[in-house]
Amino acid sequence: MLYSQQGNYVRKSISSPRTILISTNSIKNLDFDYKSFERFLNFYIEVPRFDQNKLPEKVNQNFEKKAKLINNYDSINISRLLNKTIISEILEILNDPDIQKSRLKNFRNESQFYSFADTKGKSLNLNSEELKSMMNSAYIYIPYISSARSHTNRQRIVTQDTILKYRKGVKIEKVKYDTLEVVNKYLVEINGGIIWYRLNIDENGKTKINMIENITASSSSHYNPNDYNSRKKYRRFYFGNDSWRTSPEQYIQNDAMLSFCKELGLRTKKIEDFQLSAQIIEANKRTYGIDIGRAEGLNLDDGFYIYDLEEDINGNEIEQKIGYARVIKTGNNLENPNDLSYIKQIMGPIVAEGSYIREHTKLGLSLDVQIGRSSDVWIKPKHTSLTFADIDQNIIEKDVKNISTFAIGLSYNIAAIINLTQSYIKLEFGLGFPHGQKVSDDFGNGKMYILSPYLNLKKRFGSRLFNGIQLGAGFDNLFISDSTEIYDYAFNIFSTNFKVENEIGFYINPELVIIFSSHYKTNIYPLSVNLSLHDKNYKNNNSYLFNDFYLGGISINIGMIYEIKNIGTNIFGRLDPLKVY
């Protein structure tokens, strides 16, 4: 009797005819980069939790040839096509004794390794129940693109030409104005999905294909062709340790493709049949041992819900969600099958061995929003002195010591890259509004704000209630600008800062965290002080004035962190292949 220990993950085998179904007219203004698309698709779909059934090239070509004859790619037409072209090949693979032997352990439970057949019999063949399980765990996926196109946004700009003419030896300057249309945005949008089929093979070898899910995704990416650096910036696309030369257009297309395939991969992992699960086989307080690991593509900080079964009064077994845990050590079961992975429960009551876990798939990206208040900022009127532009006035009249802050950040979990749990790289964009500033009358109602882009490294310690330390480096830009009858100005002080942040957070649920943080920011020195006055630029080189200029200080914040499910664009995707732990 083939039995299943609760929570046992049975590996599935997947096949694909390596053909992307694209309807006529679905690609517009785009030289579709099939090679890169396939590269991303392989990375995000053919993940270690699956066994791959490699189909011969001849079979793939046959599928592709016949697929081109189909006008309408609906699930029925595709399943007919699959039946005609690749099913017999998959059957052959599944019946291959060598492949069966190599997959044997996936379909055997623990005690079966101690059975007569395995011990004395040294059997290397699957029995009928194991074969049934294997034959019915084969899946086929067909990627398709419903639309892939590029757009350009154009902007009409005014150009001026100075024409020099000489009339009777006298130089005459004449300014000629014209308008010109330039492309200021090149955008690539990709829409499509993957249709997942399950191959059912009955005991007499009869096959049936059932569509189990049609997952869709869409993504986009863009760049500004007017950007002087764009050719340099987009000349090479990086994906993990891999990179290839690109034009800016191809780069943007690859960027959108990566995001598209990443989303498909995430949604594939969410399909119930494909979700990783395991039974807790070791329990020590809130740390549990599980027997899935690198062989299944488990990574540090992956999340799992914990379940238990409960029998109701009618004797029905009901699944109860008990808590939530994340991976703190990934077992290397590729080299040592007995190397367990460990998870730490961060939510719910402590459970014991026998409880089981199921994957909570996530992107590994989180968005955090914080508001707060910074004190000890020193912005004195003298710092806004415009003497360097021959104006003997300060823009502000009163000292600014406090600012209100608003920050939005995007954190990417790098635990699986650096082998350190709860480690993040965070891009942060802060906005500060000084309190009680008074702008001199001549400078109108000049709006004063501080823009602060930062790059942070963050490490958390703890469980549901956690403590985090963050180190960041970035810039703080103080802006004051207005246009009055007297002055049409834009003043800014640009400084480099470092910060150390301490946070205390609490998981409301696995996707939402409330945090309280305080950081200490120190600025090195103003890098530059600039003024744009009536279209003329001035630079203040009197650095001695800024000895007591300080955009740092202590800040107290409160905020929320939300686990992002879908972003539609590529951020940090190039780091995904580096996740090995």
Between 94 and 142, name the residue whose CB sits nearer to other proteins.
94
Window 302-341: residues binding other proteins (CB under 8 A): 308-311, 313, 317
- Closest among 499, 517, 500, 495 to 561, alpha carbons compared: 517
Quick check: 168 binds other proteins (CB under 8 A)? no
Least separation, in Å, of the C-beta of 98 and other proteins?
Answer: 13
> Which tokens in the block code for residue 531?
């003024």
What is the nearest approach in angstroms of other proteins to the Cβ of residue 131? 4
Q: Do 41 and 261 touch, CB atoms closer than 8 A?
A: yes
Output the smallest distance, CB 214 to other proteins, in A: 30
Is 532 an interacting residue with respect to other proteins (CB under 8 A)?
no
d(CA 431, CA 434): 10
Of 205, 241, 245, 534, the residue at the interface with other proteins (CB under 8 A) is 205
Which of these ranges, 196-204, 237-245, 246-254, 446-454, lies near other proteins under the rule CB under 8 A?
196-204
**Do the Cβ atoms of 51 and 11 come closer than 8 Å?**
yes
Interface with other proteins, residue 558, by CB under 8 A: no
Q: Which of 264, 31, 260 is nearest to 150 (CA)?
A: 31
136 in contact with other proteins (CB under 8 A): no
Smallest separation (angstroms) from other proteins to the CB of 281: 5
Looking only at the bridges linking them, the beta strands covering 207-223 and 170-201 are: antiparallel
CB of 280 to other proteins, least distance (A): 9
Does residue 296 belong to the site contacting other proteins (CB under 8 A)?
no
Buried b (16+ CB within 10 A) or exposed e, 132-141: bbbbebbbbb
One-letter amino acid at 57 equals E
Residue selected from 56, 349, 436, 453 as contacting other proteins according to rule CB under 8 A: 349
Instruction: Give strand pairing partners of 568.
Output: none
CB nearer to other proteins: pick between 56 and 349: 349
Using the rule CB under 8 A, which residue among 119, 243, 537, 543 binds other proteins? 119
Q: Which of 171, 352, 534, 536 binds other proteins (CB under 8 A)?
A: 352
98 binds other proteins (CB under 8 A): no
Nearest to 37 by CA among 225, 214, 219, 187: 219
Contact between residue 369 and residue 559 where contact means Cβ atoms under 8 Å apart = yes
115 forms part of the interface with other proteins (CB under 8 A): yes
DSSP at 337: T
Rounded Cα gap, residues 450 and 476, in angstroms: 6
C-alpha distances in Å from residue 303, one per residue of 48, 260, 358, 509: 17, 22, 9, 12
Interaction site with other proteins (CB under 8 A): 1, 3-6, 8, 95, 97, 109-111, 114-117, 119-121, 123, 125-129, 131-132, 135, 201, 203-205, 279, 281, 291, 308-311, 313, 317, 349-350, 352-355
